Structure 1
Amino acid sequence: MDSETAIRFEHFGSGEGRHRHGLTLSLSRVIRKREKLKNGARDSLSLPHPLFLQVLSSRLQHQISQTPKPSFSPPNQTKIPMKRVVSGVQPTGSIHLGNYLGAIKNWVALQDTYETLFFIVDLHAITLPYDPQELRKATRDTAALYLACGVDISKASVFVQSHVRAHVDLMWLLSSSTPIGWLQKMTQFKEKSRKEGGENASVSLLTYPVLMAADILLYKSDFVPVGEDQKQHLELARDLAQRVNNLYGGRKWKKLGGRGGSIFKIPEPLIPQVGARVMSLTDGRSKMSKSAPSDQSRINLLDSKDLIADKIKRCKTDSFVGLEYDNAERPECNNLLSVYQIVSGKTKDEVMEECKDMSWGTFKPLLTDAVVEHLSPIQVRYQEITAESAYLDKVLTEGADKATEIAEVTIRNLKQAMGFYI
């Protein structure tokens, strides 16, 4: 290396305190001078020695590699809260296949996507004549079945409706804004009050849709899993939410010291495409129900293998050849194929291809095996849970505590907006 090159290297590239920016500028200046000379431009400086360029480039690459990369801190991001889903089933010691396939099985899928609250609606269970001792036992058994069916307490809150007092509080507050004509139009009230003898029907039978609305609105739920027959009750909840928002929300609430705006969120229905309405084994046009006189009409989750086989063997079918979906003249066929589809985990097309040429004598044992296989682990888990009384009590207490935290905020907001001294 000649003296001129050495001086230039010492000036531009040496010294521990030099910044790589200086090296970059030095190299770029040299390159520009070379380009000038290539183009015939005159320059008082001689062309740098090739060794100088090689060493300078090497030093530059080394310093770049040794320079710490700037740390990057992403801006603070607010975590988007999960949408909330609430649902409940009345306590019966014998949750049937319709309850499970139409509601609880879907809950298990929903708990991975939504914030979920599932409860045993024991307050709804007293609108018709009942056995107090049976109610107590059925409430615990139903909670155990929730867990046995796959409801995960690390993802969902499981509790008893009456353990959260806010359900009743909100029902009363909502009742003051509910026109009685709305309740008298409810289809289930008409049907059940007729069975109870008209004037002998309890007041709670008329007003329990308001309690159902309170169940939904109390937790500011975004979605409510409902069957087709429950859509009318959800519509009432939506109408009541809008009515109360108009009566007490917005600026009226703000003048009373509240935040203003809507008091209630307007919930939307979640209606599963398959299994939303499991029909009776004795009448394919009637929903499977615990209130049906004959136990033969339903498969209970805790039924034994032999009992399930007997019920399916005796269930109502038809005389058509082959099996098919969606034929209005064959409601039992459509119902049984739908049940098989869900418990087997197969698609509709797969079931149709498998069963289209089957006779009822071939299909019924196939359905029996699929139902028994699906329910067997639920029954085993149920026995384990009911054997641990303290565990179930702990689950329900913790679930009620979590639900109460949410519910009390709703009650306080509504009372404030309605003018109560709080």
Structure 2
Amino acid sequence: MNIPRRVCQLRPSRVILSGIQPTGIPHLGNYLGALSNWVKLQKSAQPEDKLLFSIVGWHALTLPQDPAALLAARNDMLAVLLAIGIDPNRSILFHQDHNPHHTELSWILSCIAPMGKLRRMTTWKSRLAAARNSGSEDEVDESMLNAGLFMYPVLQAADVLVYKATHVPVGDDQQQHIELTRDLADIFNRTYKGTSPLFPLPTYVNTPSKRILSLKDPTSKMSKSSPDVQSRILLTDTASQIQSKIRAAVTDSIQGITYDPEGRPGTSNLLTILAACTDSDVIQVAKAYESQGHGTLKRDVAEAVEEFLKKPRAQFDRIRLETTYLDEVARRGATRAIEHSKVTMMEVKTRLGLASRVVHR
């Protein structure tokens, strides 16, 4: 008797890449958004998947930086990523500026990037507005724009394509940049043809994340750029600081607790934070508090946030002092990243006529 052989369809291996700017200690919104998803991606990845997580120092230079503060922020961000669970043995964890292939490919891509597409990018305008504390993007004077901020999306495309990344988990505000990255990959593939396309067209990964709002202005996202330090909870905040910030959080005078993001943004934000920190459904959490007052809700939110941040905070406080270990992690990460990207760059140069052969692994 012939027994049919079960055919197992394996999905193709993925190259997953994402980055974060070294702009100080992450706040609760960063943690519950991008960073926690990086850890989830690492846990759910198949053995053949490659994961790269980068601290993008070159991107940070598009806005004015204090050199000493930037250096400290780079080291702190590396310590944060290790503290929350990014494993440098499983993932390639590195500083973007330790790999010169990023800027090399960025220049090449800038030579094929249509100005019309770059002018349609919106991120530079919003970042300039935020940097100048402008109330509206329409108020931004474009003459104040520096070329680096304008070319930011091309460098981001190089970050992705230099590793031939297939999946890029980023926030909604970066989706337009991934579309540009796909366009540039397609232009290069069609312009410099080989036996097969050089670059895959990367997929934007919209990872589920909680949108955490400002504690003082619940109509806007929690942000490190806000001048009010009470508006955000940092990974390094103590239990008393967390309690103080939550106690002073903006809510409303309506009796009872309901989840209504439009009508009651402050109250709903606290419910979102509580649900996220306890891995619960926000609707069920709201139902449990419907007969309670804001005082009870704020007390429980503060306790949940402290419990949620207690372990990574302790890890961060320990790791940030281990400078030799941080230097070694950065060095090994850069070595692995360069080993991966140098093959791509030799292939790029060969197709451009800047090299005569392709070096294979």
TM more than 0.5: yes
Name the counterpart of 1:132: 67
Name the counterpart of 1:31: none
What are the Cα deviations for residues 22-45 of structure 1, in whole angstroms up to 9, with x where unaligned? xxxxxxxxxxxxxxxxxxxxxxxx
Which one of 306, 331, 342 corresponds to residue 276 of structure 2?
342
| More displaced 10-residue stretch of structure 1: 172-181 or 321-330 | 321-330
**Do the aligned residues in 1 keep the contact of 2:258 with 2:287 (CA within 8 Å)?**
no
Name the counterpart of 2:237: 303
Name the counterpart of 1:97: 28
Which one of 183, 186, 201 corresponds to residue 118 of structure 2?
183
> 2:182 corresponds to which letter in structure 1?
R
> 1:367 corresponds to which letter in structure 2?
V
Residue 112 of structure 1 aligns to a residue whose secondary structure is: helix
1:358-369 equivalent positions in 2, closer than 5 A: 358-369=292-303
**Do the aligned residues in 2 keep the contact of 1:92 with 1:141 (CA within 8 Å)?**
no
Gaps of 5+ in 2: 133-139, 357-361
1:102-117 equivalent positions in 2, closer than 5 A: 102-114=33-45, 115-117=50-52
Name the counterpart of 2:197: 262
In the aligned structure 2, how far is the partner of 1:125 from the partner of 1:233?
16
Report the CA distance between 1:84 and its aligned residue: 2.0
In the aligned structure 1, how far is the partner of 2:40 from the partner of 2:304?
20
Name the counterpart of 2:150: 206
Residue 337 of structure 1 aligns to a residue whose secondary structure is: helix
In the aligned structure 1, how far is the partner of 2:256 from the partner of 2:206?
29
Name the counterpart of 2:173: 229
Is 1:317–2:251 an aligned residue pair?
yes
Name the counterpart of 1:153: 88
**Do the aligned residues in 2 keep the contact of 1:238 with 1:267 (CA within 8 Å)?**
yes
Report the CA distance between 1:403 and its aligned residue: 0.9
**Do the aligned residues in 2 keep the contact of 1:184 with 1:190 (CA within 8 Å)?**
no
Aligned residues: 337
**Do the aligned residues in 1 keep the contact of 2:17 with 2:52 (CA within 8 Å)?**
yes
Is 1:217–2:161 an aligned residue pair?
yes
**Do the aligned residues in 2 keep the contact of 1:116 with 1:156 (CA within 8 Å)?**
yes
Which one of 72, 76, 98 corresponds to residue 163 of structure 1?
98
Q: Give the direction of change, closer, same or farther, for the CA distance of 1:418–1:388 in structure 2 (3 Å limit).
A: same
In the aligned structure 2, how far is the partner of 1:366 from the partner of 1:109?
26
Q: Give the direction of change, closer, same or farther, for the CA distance of 1:81–1:153 in structure 2 (3 Å limit).
A: farther
Report the CA distance between 1:410 and its aligned residue: 1.5
**Do the aligned residues in 2 keep the contact of 1:325 with 1:337 (CA within 8 Å)?**
yes
| More displaced 10-residue stretch of structure 1: 314-323 or 357-366 | 314-323
In the aligned structure 1, how far is the partner of 2:216 from the partner of 2:185?
39
Q: Give the direction of change, closer, same or farther, for the CA distance of 1:326–1:210 in structure 2 (3 Å limit).
A: farther
Report the CA distance between 1:192 and its aligned residue: 3.2
Larger Rg: 1
Name the counterpart of 1:285: 219
In the aligned structure 1, how far is the partner of 2:229 from the partner of 2:27?
10
Is 1:85–2:16 an aligned residue pair?
yes
Report the CA distance between 1:181 and its aligned residue: 2.0
**Do the aligned residues in 2 keep the contact of 1:112 with 1:155 (CA within 8 Å)?**
no
Name the counterpart of 1:273: 208
Name the counterpart of 2:136: none
Report the CA distance between 1:78 and its aligned residue: 12
TM-score (norm 1): 0.75
Which one of 286, 301, 305 corresponds to residue 352 of structure 1?
286
In the aligned structure 1, how far is the partner of 2:350 from the partner of 2:254?
63
Gaps of 5+ in 1: 1-73, 254-259
Q: Give the direction of change, closer, same or farther, for the CA distance of 1:84–1:326 in structure 2 (3 Å limit).
A: farther
Name the counterpart of 2:107: 172
Report the CA distance between 1:213 and its aligned residue: 1.2
> 1:247 corresponds to which letter in structure 2?
T
In the aligned structure 2, how far is the partner of 1:320 from the partner of 1:169?
57
In the aligned structure 1, how far is the partner of 2:92 from the partner of 2:43?
13
Name the counterpart of 2:359: none
Residue 209 of structure 2 aligns to a residue whose secondary structure is: coil
Q: Give the direction of change, closer, same or farther, for the CA distance of 1:198–1:402 in structure 2 (3 Å limit).
A: same
In the aligned structure 2, how far is the partner of 1:334 from the partner of 1:239?
39
| More displaced 10-residue stretch of structure 1: 195-204 or 222-231 | 195-204
Report the CA distance between 1:244 and its aligned residue: 1.8
In the aligned structure 1, how far is the partner of 2:250 from the partner of 2:205?
30
Is 1:402–2:336 an aligned residue pair?
yes
Report the CA distance between 1:419 and its aligned residue: 2.4
Q: Give the direction of change, closer, same or farther, for the CA distance of 1:174–1:365 in structure 2 (3 Å limit).
A: same
Q: Give the direction of change, closer, same or farther, for the CA distance of 1:220–1:333 in structure 2 (3 Å limit).
A: farther
In the aligned structure 1, how far is the partner of 2:115 from the partner of 2:285?
47
TM-score (norm 2): 0.87
Q: Give the direction of change, closer, same or farther, for the CA distance of 1:400–1:205 in structure 2 (3 Å limit).
A: same
Report the CA distance between 1:124 and its aligned residue: 0.8
Name the counterpart of 1:44: none
**Sequence identity, in percent?**
40
Name the counterpart of 2:267: 333
Q: Give the direction of change, closer, same or farther, for the CA distance of 1:78–1:405 in structure 2 (3 Å limit).
A: farther
> 2:127 corresponds to which letter in structure 1?
K
